[in-house]
Structure 1
Amino acid sequence: MTKILIEDLEHILIHTESLWDEMNEKRIFITGGTGFFGCWLLESFTYIVEQLKLSAQAVILTRDPERFKQKCPHLFNHPALEFHQGDICNFVFPKGEFSYLIHAGTSTNARLYQDNHLGMFNEIIEGTRRTLEFAKVSGVKKYLLTSSGAVYGKQPDTMSHIPENYQGSPDTCNISSSYGEGKRVSELLCTLYSQEYGIETKIARCFAFIGPHLPLDIHFAIGNFIQDVLAGKPIEIKGDGKSLRSYLYASDLMIWLWNILFKGKSCFPYNTGSNKEICIKDLAELIGKMYEVKVNIHQTIQLEQKPQRYIPDIQRVIADLELTQWIDLLTAIEKTVMWYKYEEVS
């Protein structure tokens, strides 16, 4: 492990240590355990189990265990982890009881579904339904759904930060709403199963993130910029750079998710992300200045158009769970770039 990752895992432990007693002698089932969220869930779970000397096991659903073994051999071979091969929509239920379930198993790679929005919509809903059915029969008490800020639809121009009680929604006549609407239905399924079967269903509405394991070659702007830096190329902005985003570092994300799973209220969504906004142009110029690379903007800024916003209000998670953003954006960028540079030479 790199020094950076160990520092991050220590940071997660410091801010979650009081939560873990209830995990001792228990099992947790995790979907999406081999993606960005999943790698961090497994890194933090194994580190904390070791440090606190817990007897706990995680079973991870994956389509391709061998591929993950090549990617993260230290995790694949960890004694606290077991990998269960299967598809999110129809996996065979592992035997035995589980106390917890984290469902993070939906792809956020838009390119995989650009010609199959119906496939994306079906996978999100059927995957959630399948995991809830498994939770019902395996004795799960606490279930966490990683939902998305996409459930709100387009953020109004007049709303600087979008709160959980905003009643907006994706445009159901636009096929690009498949992801957000699928997550909305998933949240409703959680509420229905909670009412019918008594499962505590926790919901994290996730926004944008940065950190080691983040894919650099898909549609995440900050990942694309870091990829340009690592390649020694100019940073390319395909739009006009006016859109506003915010980024939570991965170790803070893990602190939030573990707290929501263990302590969050059932059927009570929590926005999960940073509330510190930055426009894409300023983000690119910040990274460009840090690493002395040029920034190219491909479209002229239209001053009369208001920028698109995707910024959460996080007062609920602050008030209810006493969480905050500990890692600032500059540090998050430095940590991520250093990790990827280490990966290149190791």
Structure 2
Amino acid sequence: MAKRNRAKHEKVILVAGGAGFVGSHLCAALLDRGNRVICLDSYLTGSPANVDALQRHPKFSMVEQDICDEIDIEVPLDQIYNLACPASPPHYQADPIHTMMTSVAGTGNLLRLAERHEAVFLQASTSEIYGDPEKHPQQEDYWGHVNCTGPRACYDEGKRAAETLCFDSLRAGSVDARVARIFNTYGPHMRPNDGRIVSNFIVQALNNEPLTIYGSGEQTRSFCYVSDLVEGLIRLMNCTLNPEGAVNLGNPGEFTVMELAELVLSKIKTTSSIVHAPLPEDDPLRRRPDITRAKALLDWEPKVPLTEGLPQTISWFRTALAKNRATERRNRSGHQQPATVLSQIG
């Protein structure tokens, strides 16, 4: 296939996992920039509701498919983003073999699609490839400290294998592949029941339930608002020169889990208290990105502080949970068949 003009204003872009939390925001941002967007999602953890408003956009189209199956897109593609993989422990551990194959077989399928179309490829990797890090903050040249046979390995090792596929394809000259290592991200469209710390605390507080802290609460995380992450992904995809290595994308602001819990309680009128539970196996004790590389290569750094992004996220969850309760009331009244609503609003 002959190379097309990558500099043209309108690009045709495939977003695998585009109905998920980050993917839906990415699809919207790409449309806002005048591109044509094809969203591919199996709806395993993504939601039709996340892209419902986009369905009316003339440059948006939807393909329901698992990336583990062979992918055949006839429309010439300029770019492919791969965000297709469950990203929270309860979801990726629910079917660990499928999670691993999504990162390995699925990424392989998308790389072959990128090669056929001569499309630039961006792989959404994760800070989890650093495991429970012995180096802090984490730089891209750190190889990590990962349990390759533990309960989190399906995700951690799957993403590490996906990175290998990307960089082998790059070295072979078959695909212009880029890799973003994404740190904790939060914002609207998170699933209320996805098991991530921000959504857990917000939903528990809104429901006047105790906030569950695993371990002492002294373990740390860094929280990046979704709009900042999306901007970083787009800049990495459109970087003129391939970075030829992974790029950390995250907010270097570091908070203890206890600090996050107290901040959530300060933003929500609630009767919730704090309770402690045992720390899950292989749960990282410290996590903070070094974003020196992203600053230098992409001129990127987060702009939304946690104190600003958290109220916007709380507002979205408050509306989503209210819709959930209203639907449950209608179900009980017999006006429609019962449905699992939580999976439809995140």
Where on the TM-score scale, by shorter chain, does this alignment land: which range? 0.7 to 0.9
What TM-score does the superposition give when structure 1 sets the normalisation length?
0.83
**1:218 is matched with which residue?**
194
Structure 1, unaligned runs of 5 or more: 1-20, 50-55, 302-306
Selected match of 2:249 from 245, 261, 272:
272
AA at the equivalent of 2:154:
S
Question: How far is the alpha carbon of 1:274 from its aligned partner?
Answer: 1.0
Over aligned residues, Cα RMSD in angstroms?
A: 2.3
AA at the equivalent of 1:105:
A
> Does structure 2 conserve the Cα–Cα contact (< 8 Å) formed by 1:84 and 1:94?
no
> Does structure 1 conserve the Cα–Cα contact (< 8 Å) formed by 2:202 and 2:317?
no
Selected match of 1:230 from 202, 206, 220:
206
**1:126 is matched with which residue?**
105
Question: How far is the alpha carbon of 1:143 from its aligned partner?
Answer: 0.8
Q: Deviations over 1:131-162 (max 9, x none)?
A: 0010011221x111000111122211xx3311
- The reply on whether 1:331 has 2:316 as its aligned counterpart is no
Selected match of 2:131 from 149, 153, 162:
153
Q: Distance in 2 between matches of 1:92 and 1:217?
A: 30
Selected match of 2:290 from 287, 298, 313:
313
**1:143 is matched with which residue?**
121
> Does structure 2 conserve the Cα–Cα contact (< 8 Å) formed by 1:68 and 1:76?
no
Question: How far is the alpha carbon of 1:208 from its aligned partner?
Answer: 0.1
Instruction: Give the 3 Å change call, closer, same or farther, for CA 46–336 of structure 1 in structure 2.
Output: same
**1:291 is matched with which residue?**
268
Instruction: Give the 3 Å change call, closer, same or farther, for CA 297–232 of structure 1 in structure 2.
Output: closer
AA at the equivalent of 1:127:
G
**1:31 is matched with which residue?**
16
Instruction: Give the 3 Å change call, closer, same or farther, for CA 23–188 of structure 1 in structure 2.
Output: farther
Q: Distance in 2 between matches of 1:345 and 1:151?
A: 36
- The reply on whether 1:340 has 2:325 as its aligned counterpart is no
SS at match of 1:118: helix
SS at match of 2:112: helix
Counting only pairs closer than 5 Å after superposition, residues 154-193 of structure 1 correspond to structure 2 as 154-156=132-134, 159-193=135-169
Instruction: Give the 3 Å change call, closer, same or farther, for CA 128–27 of structure 1 in structure 2.
Output: same
Q: Distance in 2 between matches of 1:45 and 1:27?
A: 10
What TM-score does the superposition give when structure 2 sets the normalisation length?
0.83
Question: How far is the alpha carbon of 1:100 from its aligned partner?
Answer: 0.5
Q: Distance in 1 between matches of 2:179 and 2:102?
A: 18
> Does structure 1 conserve the Cα–Cα contact (< 8 Å) formed by 2:103 and 2:159?
yes
> Does structure 1 conserve the Cα–Cα contact (< 8 Å) formed by 2:179 and 2:246?
yes
Question: How far is the alpha carbon of 1:175 from its aligned partner?
Answer: 4.2
| Identity fraction in percent | 25
Q: Deviations over 1:285-317 (max 9, x none)?
A: 11112224343132599xxxxx81011111111
Q: Distance in 1 between matches of 2:58 and 2:87?
A: 29
**2:29 is matched with which residue?**
44
SS at match of 1:22: coil
> Does structure 2 conserve the Cα–Cα contact (< 8 Å) formed by 1:236 and 1:296?
yes
Question: How far is the alpha carbon of 1:71 from its aligned partner?
Answer: 4.6
Deviates more, 1:230-239 or 1:128-137: 230-239
Structure 2, unaligned runs of 5 or more: 1-5, 324-346
Instruction: Give the 3 Å change call, closer, same or farther, for CA 23–42 of structure 1 in structure 2.
Output: farther
**1:92 is matched with which residue?**
71
SS at match of 1:298: strand
Q: Distance in 2 between matches of 1:133 and 1:26?
A: 19
> Does structure 2 conserve the Cα–Cα contact (< 8 Å) formed by 1:29 and 1:59?
yes
Q: Deviations over 1:94-115 (max 9, x none)?
A: 1032111101111113223435
Selected match of 2:87 from 94, 105, 108:
108
AA at the equivalent of 1:187:
E
- Higher normalized helix content (fraction of residues): 1
